[in-house]
Amino acid sequence: MQDLGVGLVGYGLGGRVFHAPFVQYTDGLELRSVVSTKPPKVHADLPDVSVVPSIEQLLADDAIDLVIVSSPDELHARHAIAALQAGKHVVLDKPFATNLADAHRIADAADQAKRLLTVFHNRRWDADFLTLQRLLAEGTFGRVVHFESHFDRWRPEVSDIWKEAREGGSWFDLGPHLVDQTLRLFGMPLAITADLAALRDGAPAPDWFHAILHYRDIRVTLHSSKLSADHRLRFAVHGTAASWIKHGMDNQEPAIAGGRRPGDEGLGLDAEPGILTTRVPRQATRTIPNELGDYGIFWRSLVLALRGSGPNPVPVAEALDVMTIMQAGIESNRNGSTVRLDSAPRQR
């Protein structure tokens, strides 16, 4: 079948690491154009790909079937809606939008255009998360009572880049990863209590968050700090039969940023196993090797979905659930309150 023509809006970290390499590697996709004001930067990596200065020029190209929006957050709604109205399918980088209302406007535009819209929640395919899903499916923990998810870093100096000043700060940068993973495991919570803070000197937006998601019989803690000298903890899961502690992050992002490519041997291999401590039926401690992480699953699934042979890899309703939690977290922090979610509309 003929390859689907792909246009990429933006060539920062997202475009350079998470999108372009995987589009080039995935059968059925052909990267044909990039929107950027820095053609030499793009051509250093993609010498044969066209570079255009505006999204309008990209959208006028009939050879583009799919647009990947990897522009700054405040442009997501404008760029995604323009692409959909131009008859293009859209992959939208996280966060879906800067607020829930804009996310719904984008979703409505996709419905009206009858085009596929998906949000790039790539960390569904992290090695450690795939391992955790397997352990849960096997009933390893008994009944889970506490789930803790961290995305900490050591970045004590504030950089002069737009991401450091984005609305919502790290809650809207790293929070969507943690929220989406949690929803995949446990569904929508009843409520959220969130605390956001700017703790580094000169930080223009929150660089620390601590959110509690309230379920009927589970408590979930989502945490991130950019002032964690020891930032190894990733997951802690405690249940009625066992606990699992995982240190270290999935290596696909740093590996590709360092020059490796999808399909390279060992890409997605997380060599730091989690530690499982069981109490039922007997006390024991053992290491748990990780599943192989693979962001390529998103792209292969996307091709099938666009050809009518498979489901959307990240359905719009699921991405809207993430945005519902994100906005409720902002409200909780602003008002110093617990925000209930159990009555929020969730289906489209």
- The residue behind tokens 């290491």 is 287
pLDDT given for residue 2 in this prediction: 92
pLDDT given for residue 61 in this prediction: 97
Name the domain count of the chain: 2
- The Cα–Cα gap between 61 and 175 comes to 35
pLDDT (tens digit, 9 = 90+) per residue, 134-181? Answer: 999 999 999 999 999 999 999 999 998 888 888 899 999 999 999 999
- The Cα–Cα gap between 143 and 240 comes to 5
pLDDT given for residue 65 in this prediction: 98
Residues 92 and 79 in one domain: yes
Q: What is the 3-state secondary structure (H, E, C) of the chain?
A: CCCEEEEEECCCHHHHHHHHHHHHHCCCEEEEEEECCCHHHHHHHCCCCEEECCHHHHHCCCCCCEEEECCCHHHHHHHHHHHHHCCCEEEEECCCCCCHHHHHHHHHHHHHHCCCEEEECHHHHCHHHHHHHHHHHCCCCCCEEEEEEECCCECCCCCCCHHHHCCCCHHHHCHHHHHHHHHHHHCCCCEEEEEEECCCCCCCCCCEEEEEEECCCCEEEEEEECECCCCCEEEEEEECCEEEEEECCCCHHHHHHCCCCCCCCCCCCCCCCEEEEECCCCCEEEEECCCCCCCHHHHHHHHHHHCCCCCCCCCHHHHHHHHHHHHHHHHHHHHCCEEECCCCCCCC
| CB contact set of 122 (below 8 Å; sequence gap of 6+) | 18, 295, 298
Stretch 245-249: mean pLDDT:
97
Q: Is the link from the previous residue into 206 a cis peptide, with omega within 30 of 0?
A: no
Residue with more model confidence, 185 or 160: 185
Stretch 38-64: mean pLDDT:
97
- Is residue 101 domain-resident? yes
pLDDT (tens digit, 9 = 90+) per residue, 52-74? Answer: 999 999 999 999 999 999 999 99
Cα 81 to chain centroid, rounded? 20
- Is residue 305 domain-resident? no
Residue 217 is part of a domain; what is its CATH number?
3.30.360.10
Residue 18 is part of a domain; what is its CATH number?
3.40.50.720
| CB contact set of 175 (below 8 Å; sequence gap of 6+) | 168, 209, 211, 222, 224, 326, 329
pLDDT given for residue 166 in this prediction: 86
For the chain, give the percent of residues with pLDDT over 90.
94
Residues 64 and 189 in one domain: no
Residues 56 and 73 in one domain: yes
Residues 79 and 31 in one domain: yes
- Is residue 188 domain-resident? yes
- Final residue of a structural domain among 71, 89, 120: 120
CA distances from 178 to 20, 126, 131 (A): 24, 12, 15
Cα 103 to chain centroid, rounded? 15
344 falls in which pLDDT band (50, 70, 90)? low
Q: pTM value?
A: 0.95
Longest dimension (CA), the chain: 65
Stretch 212-216: mean pLDDT:
97
- Is residue 302 domain-resident? no
Residues 196 and 214 in one domain: yes
- Final residue of a structural domain among 120, 143, 171: 120
User: Smallest Cα–Cα separation from 148: which of 182, 102, 175?
Assistant: 182
346 falls in which pLDDT band (50, 70, 90)? low
- Is residue 348 domain-resident? no
Query: Is 89 a residue whose pLDDT tops 60?
Result: yes
Residues 94 and 105 in one domain: yes
Residues 127 and 115 in one domain: no
| CB contact set of 133 (below 8 Å; sequence gap of 6+) | 184, 185
Cβ proximity of 123 and 250 under 8 Å: yes
For residue 177, the enclosing domain spans 123-293+326-340
- Is residue 279 domain-resident? yes
Residues 166 and 200 in one domain: yes
Residues 211 and 331 in one domain: yes
280 falls in which pLDDT band (50, 70, 90)? confident
- Is residue 249 domain-resident? yes
282 falls in which pLDDT band (50, 70, 90)? confident
- Final residue of a structural domain among 65, 88, 120: 120
Average pLDDT score, the chain: 96
- The Cα–Cα gap between 175 and 269 comes to 24
Which pair of tokens denotes residue 124? 């569904």
pLDDT (tens digit, 9 = 90+) per residue, 299-333? Answer: 999 999 999 999 999 999 999 999 999 999 999 99
Residues 17 and 56 in one domain: yes
Stretch 4-12: mean pLDDT:
97
| C-beta atoms surrounding 142 within 10 Å | 14
Residues 77 and 165 in one domain: no
Residues 65 and 158 in one domain: no
Stretch 334-345: mean pLDDT:
84
- Is residue 346 domain-resident? no
Of the listed ranges 119-123, 238-242, 340-344, the least confidently predicted one is 340-344
Q: What length is written for the chain?
A: 348
